[in-house]
A and B are shown apart, each in its own frame.
Chain A
Amino acid sequence: MAATPLLELSGINKGFGPVQVLHDVSLSVYPGEVTALVGDNGAGKSTMVKCISGIYQIDSGTVTFEGNQVAIHTPSDASTLGIEVVYQDLALCDNLDVVQNMFLGREKKRGIVLDEPTMEQMAGDALASLSVRTLKSLRQLVASLSGGQRQTVAIAKAVLWNSKVVILDEPTAALGVAQTAQVLELVRRLADNGLGVVLISHNMNDVFAVSDRIAALYLGRMAAQVKTTDVTHSQVVELITAGRSGNLGLPPEKPAAELGGDVVDITPGGEK
């Protein structure tokens, strides 16, 4: 896995007024892999996603995409690069059907007329590439879909645009057991299709089920980014709750490696 990261963040800082939310955060997303982004509530996961998707602007730090340094100022910058975010509330319109939702805001047109056949075909292809077989019809209203089916539509919407990085915010939070399994399978398939996937989740079972790497945020700092196979369940929980686990995590590794003494006085226990 020595591939170059598709998306690489380094030294990202972001604050809102006096509150510093992200401190020198780094994250690498590799193509064909699922990177799980974990952390407790308030650790900065959402802020980080919003920085990547262009809703927030970073204060300092660099974003590298496919080897080139890029600046993401607006959500459309992000989607131009090929970064799509599936938000927790999915952002689907109940009164529109599956195809209409997938193309919302980016409709295909012939002249001024909507090109429905092309859109329906593209939507069908996108769903087929994810081996989705749970939808009865592409012309079903989203209102009539189950939670898992909605999630599927939202994810398929994200892959429709030849996107390279898909960020999923808590995709299984509201789902039952069977539907969770379906969605996780879908997440895995996204990565198998060569996309870089970032999965935000609170559920350790989900994280271990599909992810290749785990990035743990702790109070706005990247506690560790490790391969899933190298850590155990409890180590990840410790990283989330305490910021370190054995020789993994914040104080022993990071200051020595790259940041010098700057971070030493902000060990979790030592913070004022």
Chain B
Amino acid sequence: MTTTTTTTAGGVKVVKPTVASYINDYWSRVRGGDLGGLPAILGLVVLSLIFAIARDTFISGLNFANLFNQGAIYIFIAMGLIFVLLLGEIDLSAGYTSGVCGAVVAILLTNHGWEWYTAIPVALITGMVIGFVLGFLVAKIGIPSFVVTLAAFLGFQGLLLVLLGGGTNISTRNEFFNSLNNDNLPVSWSWILTILAIVGYAGAQLNQVRSRAKRGLVTDPMGIVAMRVGGLAVLLIVATSILTQERAINPAINSLKGVPIVVPIIGFFLVLWTFVLGRTSYGRHVYAVGGNTEAARRAGIPVDRIRISVFVIGSFMASIGGIMAVSRASSVDPNTGGSNILLYSVGAAVIGGTSLFGGKGKVINAVIGGAVIAVIDNGMGLMGFSSGTKFIVTGLILLVAASVDALARRRAAATGNR
């Protein structure tokens, strides 16, 4: 691992990186303004430490599980928003789209007596139709997305009221549906999924190294690969062992242990969209359109279709967010998907490291950013701050994240990274 061998990648002389040179490269990229999710991870650690010191209950297993259930809604919506943001567009209506889809599922379940496996797909399709309409207006008619989705924001707020008959509250009683964002996996399944996730990640990493090494291409040093896999393994095992502890205040009445059901759902979409963005030509084209629309057009990429598709994905993920919000509350009301949901979701994407200028961002940003938002919301709640203070602090942190993004871009421009 210490010797520096030189391999040729098809004629271009490339030095095979060692662990040290890899870390050096990474550090110089960070210094050059390519921060990625680093500020958010640091923020997450610092905030968690502050809250943990201030309130013991913050680090209790019960609260830890709560964080996932609370953050899930923002995370799902933010995952979809990342696709929209990658094109430098915005979807202000994502919050109320989730509300409308949540209302659809609740009405079908409660008022029409549908089963969850028919009601949920209808809500998902509703989301995709909404996204298609938004995307069509932006891409084909040429209205700025800010205006289209601002109109939709108002419109869907109204639609939600109309659907709910002027403001009634519809509660859902479908057991499976309500369990989605409330209940936990059995302990055995928690561990099985954790191990599957670690083995899967390790397999994917090793497979990549092997297929590149076979062609004589430069690979990441094994030390770094081991650190990545080991890091994830430690993180997941610690989290799972905390979550599989009994955390009910009175276990005799109602036992509470296991990983929340919503966690593997987040994991599924994280893997799915990361794969789509990173490993398919569709994802490549999304980045290309976000980076240089004209270049993408000349390369023969159907720019309009890509633009419509990101809004479809955005609203589809918003509908999942809506379903989770309704499941969490076991009811829907005119405020579902309203108030701070949209702003928190955009905040999650941006705090996680997605650029508002387009072309830069990963799906994992939504998870990290969503975790930061959930920690602030939850931690300040525990410390007894009012909603007002919570909003002010969240607003400030969003502002800090956006400044970090803007400053990193300037830094990158200065060092020639952009």
Contacts and interface: CB of A to CB of B under 8 A. Distances in A.
B291 interface: yes
9 contacts: A104-B299, A105-B296, A113-B279, A117-B215, A127-B12, A128-B12, A133-B13, A143-B412, A143-B418
B90 to A, nearest CB: 18
Interface in A36-57: none
A95 B359 CA distance: 6
- Interface class of chain B by DSSP: mixed
B52 interface: no
A89 to B, nearest CB: 8
Interface of B: 8-14, 32, 211-212, 214-215, 217-218, 279-281, 284-285, 287-288, 290-292, 294-296, 298-301, 359-360, 412, 416-418
A114 interface: yes
A133 B12 contact: yes
Nearest to B300: A105
Interface string A126-138: 0111001101111
A104 B9 contact: no
A144 interface: yes
A143 B416 contact: yes
A132 B284 contact: no
Q: Which 8 A-B pairs have the closest CB atoms?
A: A128-B11, A124-B10, A105-B299, A93-B291, A95-B291, A91-B295, A95-B359, A104-B299
Nearest to A146: B416
A10 interface: no
A94 B300 CA distance: 17
Interface string A92-125: 1111100010001111010011101110111111
A90 B218 CA distance: 27
Contact of B417 (A125, A139, A144): A144
A93 B292 CA distance: 5
Contacts of B294: 89, 91
Nearest to A85: B298
Contacts of A118: 215
Contacts of A208: none
Nearest to A89: B294
B287 A105 contact: no
A76 interface: yes
A124 B287 contact: no
A105 B289 CA distance: 11
- The size bracket of the interface on A is 35 or more
Contacts of B299: 91, 104-106
A122 B214 CA distance: 15
A125 B217 CA distance: 12
Given A123-B10, A133-B13, A138-B9, A95 B284 contact: no
B11 A93 contact: no
Contacts of B11: 124-125, 127-129
A95 B281 contact: no
A112 B280 contact: yes
Contacts of A90: 295
B360 A95 contact: yes
A6 interface: no
Given A127-B10, A141-B417, A75 B280 contact: no
Interface in A167-192: none
A104 B14 CA distance: 23
Contacts of A120: 9-10, 212, 215, 217
Contacts of A114: 279-281, 284
Contacts of A121: 9-10, 215, 217
B296 A92 contact: no
A138 B7 CA distance: 13
Contacts of B281: 107, 109, 114
